[in-house]
Structures are given as C-alpha cells and as structure tokens.
C-alpha cells in the first residue's frame, strides 16, 4: 500500500502544474525520462479545474461486446471508491474489442463516483455527457474522446493492475494531472516532489528572466554579423 500524504502535502501538490511535477520527478532518478506519464491519446476533457491529485482506484471496462454480462458490474467499483483513502481518482482501462466506440462513463456514473468520494476519472476509452459532468463541478474527466452512446457498459477486475496509454497503474498509485496530461508520482519520493518542484520553478523563472532581458538578443546579433 502506498504511503499516504497528509492533506497539507496533497494541497502543496495541487498548487503546482503537472509539467513542473514531471520535471521535479526526474531529479530523483527513480525511473526513465520516457516513463510514468500518459501520452496525448488521453485528453483533459474539462479544462480549468486546476491540478488533479489523487490515489488510483483501478478497474477494467468493456462497453463494445454485445451480450456480455458481469455480476454486480458497477457496484464493486463504487464500494472500492468509498473504501479507499481520499482523494480518489478512478482509472478504467478499456478492455473491449472496439476502443473507438467505447464509453466507460457519463452523467450517472460520474455523479455516483463523486458521491462515493472520487474527484476524477481517467480512461483510455471514450466518455460522454460532457456538459452534465462539467456541471457537477470539480470532477476531472480524462479520456480518449467523447462518444454519444454507452454501448453495453461493463466494469470488472476492480483493484487490478491496469495499463493506460502504456503506463502501468496500480491501486493506490498517486496521480497528478492537469490540461497537459497525467503523471504517476513514485511512492518513494511522493513526500519530496513538491519541494523539488518549487526549486524547478525557481530555476525556470530565472532562465525566463534571462531570455526576456534586454541583453539576450545581443548574442544572436553578433552571430548574424558573421554570416
């Protein structure tokens, strides 16, 4: 089980954008630079909510297999959300045969998830009811895109290790996401990332001041004279 951060530590992470968090993680050398973050196939569908920080509750979903049934399909997911440490981010791996037409949540599911304690949902499949979910307020919605029909929605393997956009996500993993995408914060450095991110931000601001200074272009002016 991942070591839990305090409420104050979670709020520190929520005050920092996800690219800066990703940069900070690099300093600890706990994984490769091309690991631990989703690709641009996972989109932030409700921008403007600020960073999403929460512990993963995982499952698989299939909405494109006609006639398939799963016992207590969604209830087990809601029970897992309610039992999990908060804040919760639900992660649904598409497990069907037609991801292009998949749909793993809409207004009813998102509302139920939020009532059970989730602050957001991440899936590599489709979602719907974007206006209604946006109206819920404060519920993050990440997916491959929007579709109009729920198909034959099934949820199963709650608590399983899942793979989203090539990233392995386990129950309890700490996720950080915003309009730029989502990264997994490694457990062993979770309590150190915010402080390192502030150092990264200071270094970036110093570099930006250099770029915007009156003297910055002089180096290029000198080079231009020799061409």
53: in domain: yes
Tell me the pLDDT of the chain (227 aa) as tens digits.
455 899 999 999 999 999 999 999 999 999 999 999 999 999 999 999 999 999 999 999 999 999 888 777 789 999 999 999 999 999 999 999 999 999 999 999 999 999 999 999 999 999 999 999 999 999 999 999 999 999 999 999 999 999 999 999 999 999 999 999 999 999 999 999 999 999 999 999 999 999 999 888 887 876 666 55
pLDDT reported for residue 148 = 98
24: in domain: yes
28: in domain: yes
Task: List the structure tokens of 46.
Answer: 């409700």
CATH number, domain of 109, equals: 3.50.30.40
pLDDT reported for residue 225 = 61
- What pTM does this model have? 0.93
1: in domain: no
H-state helical runs in 117-175: 130-136
2: in domain: no
66: in domain: yes
pLDDT reported for residue 75 = 93
pLDDT reported for residue 1 = 44
Return the number of other C-beta atoms located less than 10 Å from residue 131's C-beta: 8
87: in domain: yes
Query: From the centroid of its chain, how far is CA 172?
Result: 13
Range of the domain at 58: 7-225
pLDDT reported for residue 215 = 87
pLDDT reported for residue 69 = 85
How many structural domains compose the chain?
Answer: 1
211: in domain: yes
The CA distance from 120 to 52, in Å, is: 7
pLDDT reported for residue 217 = 85
DSSP single-letter state for residue 82: H
Q: Which residues of 12-47 are buried (b: 16+ CB within 10 A; e: fewer)?
A: bbbebbbbbbbbbbeeeeeeeeeebbbeeebbbbbe
State the pairing for strand pair 145-146/126-127.
parallel
């Amino acid at each position: 089980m991942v070591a839990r951060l305090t409420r104050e530590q979670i709020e520190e992470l929520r005050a920092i954008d996800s690219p800066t968090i990703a940069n900070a993680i690099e300093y600890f050398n706990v994984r490769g630079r091309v690991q631990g973050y989703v690709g641009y196939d996972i989109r932030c569908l409700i921008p403007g909510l600020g960073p999403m920080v929460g512990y993963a509750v995982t499952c698989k979903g299939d909405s494109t297999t006609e006639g398939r049934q799963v016992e207590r399909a969604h209830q087990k997911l809601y029970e897992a959300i309610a039992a999990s440490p908060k804040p919760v981010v639900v992660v649904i791996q598409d497990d069907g045969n037609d991801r292009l037409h998949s749909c793993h949540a809409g207004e009813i599911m998102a509302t139920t998830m939020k009532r059970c304690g989730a602050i957001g949902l991440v899936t590599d499949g489709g979602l719907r009811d974007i206006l209604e979910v946006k109206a819920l307020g404060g519920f993050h919605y990440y997916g491959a895109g929007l579709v109009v029909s729920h198909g034959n929605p099934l949820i199963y393997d709650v608590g399983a290790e899942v793979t989203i956009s090539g990233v392995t996500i386990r129950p309890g993993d700490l996720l950080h996401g915003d309009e730029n995408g989502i990264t997994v914060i490694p457990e062993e450095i979770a309590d150190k990332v915010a402080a390192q991110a502030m150092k990264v931000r200071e270094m970036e601001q110093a570099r930006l001041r250099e770029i915007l200074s009156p003297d910055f272009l002089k180096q290029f002016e000198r080079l231009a004279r020799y061409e």
